[in-house]
Amino acid sequence: MNRIERLVCNTMPAPPARRDLFGEALARLFEAAATCAACADACLADPEVAELRRCIRLNSSCGDLCSTTARVIARLGSEPGLARAQLPSCALACRLAAEECERHAATHAPCAVCAEACRACEQACERLLSSLGPAEAARH
């Protein structure tokens, strides 16, 4: 994911946050979006699909939220309030998806990798959020 970090760290006009945390979050959000999409489809193909419903749902919602949060984050410089409101919801989705994937990581290989990507994304979201300083009026 070098190009994303290069773009953010070397070329963005106004630094919207600590550039390293910003680049890391963007990279992890798109990585988790990808692993969630692939993991949801692998679970759907599994003979035990009925036992994997929650995993499919959480992967689907987490993937949707990661993709969208990444776009909102890309506009962080101008709308920090929206980013601050959106990051906790995305981190929650990553945590729930990671916890669920971890439950069958031993027997479902895609879940093991996806759990790892979701944990990394959760942490990147939390770190970026912490670096943004106290909220003013993000939540109404």
Return the structure tokens found at 23: 């680049």
The DSSP code for 10 is I
- What contacts 3, CB < 8 A, 6 or more positions away? none
Is 65 an interacting residue with respect to its own copies (CB under 8 A)? yes
* Least Å from the CB of residue 134 to its own copies: 17
Number of residues lying near its own copies (CB under 8 A) = 72
Site of tokens 């988790």: 32
* Least Å from the CB of residue 20 to its own copies: 15
| Calpha distance 113→13 (Å, rounded) | 35
- Considering only residues 22 to 51 of the shown chain, the ones binding its own copies according to CB under 8 A are 26-27, 29-31, 33-35, 37-42, 44-46, 49-50
Classified as helix, coil or strand, 29 is helix
- Considering only residues 68 to 127 of the shown chain, the ones binding its own copies according to CB under 8 A are 68, 70-72, 74-75, 77-79, 81-82, 85-86, 88-89, 91-93, 95-96, 109-110, 112-114, 116-117, 120
Is 6 an interacting residue with respect to its own copies (CB under 8 A)? yes
Classified as helix, coil or strand, 76 is coil
